[in-house]
Amino acid sequence: MTRTSLSGQNLGKYRVLEPLGSGGMARVYRGYHPQLDRFVAIKVLRSDLGEDELFLTRFRQEAQAVAALRHANIIQVFDFDVEDDIYFMVMELLDGDTLHTRLNDYRVRDEQMPWGEMIRILLDVLDGLTYAHQEGMIHRDIKPANILLTRRGQAVLADFGIAQIVGGTRHTVSGALLGTLNYMAPEQGLEGVSDVRSDLYSLGVVLYEMLTRRPPYDADTPLAILLKHVNDPLPLPTELNPDVPAPLERIVLKALAKERDGRFQSGTEMAEALKTAAAEAHIELPSEISLPLSFSTSEAPSDSVAVFSGTARAKLANVEFAAQDTAATSSASIAADLAALKAQEPPVAELPAESTAVPPEDQPSVERILLSGAVIFFLFNMLIIMFSGRSGSSWFFAQGWPIELMLIAVPFFLLMINRRNLWLLIPAGLLFGEGVLLGYYALSGRWEDWAFLWPLQVFLVMVVLWYTITRAVNSAQAGELAVLWGHRLLRLAAGIIIVYLFALI
């Protein structure tokens, strides 16, 4: 069975009907599930993607997670399967158009999308995106063509399946750069690193385009676009459209910070900022998104991409959604040009002062953090020795020594925050937890309690290992969790040490 002869054939339990379109990564067909009486979209992945074992492994690992996403603002993926070496995903079809088409309609009419409509679309997308992030999924390919605007008045995010399964970070198994570079975060295109903030950067580019009718960076080659994301100052939206409300411009500037720490750290944070901006600018938010500009009751929109159930909904217009699919750009050509062109690009530090990107912070090295921890440990012990010498008492060394374990854990907390490394929770948590338990024994003098409290130590070890391994391996927000727990444990350690010292005195 070849890719060009799928119409009229069966793929698993689905009957393949007419093609709806094709893009860089897949071809989309209208399909039918006879047992459920449901019309669906069948996205057949490019044939060469199944020739590499890395792709096959990723396909098997990620398929279940992608299909498990259930949210009103995420297009539902029903199934992933393979038949005769054809890898395909089955999705719902949503009746409406894409944001890409909607923006083009406004350009043709020389009109501006209403501010409230923009914010409503973004809030819908952020609702679905935040849910996906909490489930450990990063989209990696957010752009107007992947945001569907339905006749139900909702914005729905599409193509989690392609972005997640085909690779998403930097290269596909065939050596293609995944994602549309106009919307790609600097670290995603240059380093192959993606996290929650990379998705929010891409959504910030979408907002920029809605405000100004164009993406912030464009060029003749993919590499040139990528280097603009990395190096060029952001053109202010008000320079292109003076009518842009100042609160919305502030949202764009934060979302498009070149350093991830300068951006919104979660979808919830960005959504709250949008609501606040709407209130400041006195923008009324519609309860739902308006119908397509070209919509008429006698004919379905030209960009139908919908879920249809029942024989009464069997007819569907051809769609452009698949043609706007993720483009595949050869990363080999990018790699070949990168060394030569990067030498011609001014370093970020030499950019003009008007750059609106948040400058990278001077992060301390691991050696500096460990040295700082050693200095704190040394000074603390010197103070205790001096105090003990003057008082003639060795009470601290008899009862206060567990504080030493807590102090040793402090540099690990700082490294968790600085390096955004959740794995450091294992030594940090075990040292701190043991310090607290031993502190109880030493302070109370009830060492005999260890006979029945020892399971707490086993429980501590198991919980720290289980939490760290499950979150660091499966969570897309491991970096954020490392920072969160690093700050929490630092505050907790400071409080316990102070209380412990007062108890000793």
The SS3 call for residue 145 is helix
Q: Is residue 4 part of a domain?
A: no
CB 226 within 8 A of CB 322: no
Q: Is 350 exposed, middle or buried (CB count within 10 Å of its CB: 0-12, 13-18, 19+)?
A: exposed
Same domain, 377 and 280: no
Calculate ∠ Cα 393-396-399, nearest 5°: 120
**Of the residues 284, 301, 318, the one at which a domain ends:** 301
For residue 110, give every residue at least 6 positions away whose Cβ sits within 8 Å of its Cβ, in sequence order, or none.
Answer: none
CATH number (domain holding residue 250) = 1.10.510.10
Q: Is residue 320 part of a domain?
A: no
Q: Is residue 296 part of a domain?
A: yes
Helix extents (H) in 151-307: 160-166, 186-191, 196-212, 222-231, 237-240, 246-255, 267-280
**Of the residues 280, 301, 322, the one at which a domain ends:** 301
**Of the residues 245, 266, 301, the one at which a domain ends:** 301
Least Cα distance to 59 among 34, 87, 31 occurs for 87
Kindly state the tokens that stand for 264: 């919104």
Higher model confidence: residue 44 or residue 212? 212
State the chain's mean pLDDT as an integer: 75
Domain that holds residue 248: 98-301
Instruction: Give the C-alpha separation, 397 to 334, whole Å.
Output: 62
Most confident of 24-28, 162-166, 210-214, 372-376: 210-214
Same domain, 295 and 384: no
Q: In the predicted model, is pLDDT for residue 302 greater than 50?
A: no
Q: How many C-beta atoms surround the C-beta of residue 59 within 10 A?
A: 21
**What are the beta bridge partners of residue 97?**
149
Q: In the predicted model, is pLDDT for residue 394 greater than 70?
A: no
Write the pLDDT tens digit of every residue in 63-105. Answer: 677 788 889 999 888 888 888 888 888 888 877 889 999 999 9
Q: Which residues are catalytic?
A: 141
Same domain, 133 and 280: yes
Same domain, 111 and 209: yes
The domain tally of the chain equals: 2
Same domain, 158 and 237: yes
Q: Is residue 347 part of a domain?
A: no
**What are the beta bridge partners of residue 15?**
10, 32
pTM of the model: 0.59
Query: How many CA within 13 A on the CB side of residue 79?
Result: 17
Dihedral in degrees, nearest 10, Cα atoms 439, 440, 442, 444: 150
Same domain, 413 and 264: no
Write the pLDDT tens digit of every residue in 206-243. Answer: 999 999 999 999 888 888 888 899 999 999 999 999 99
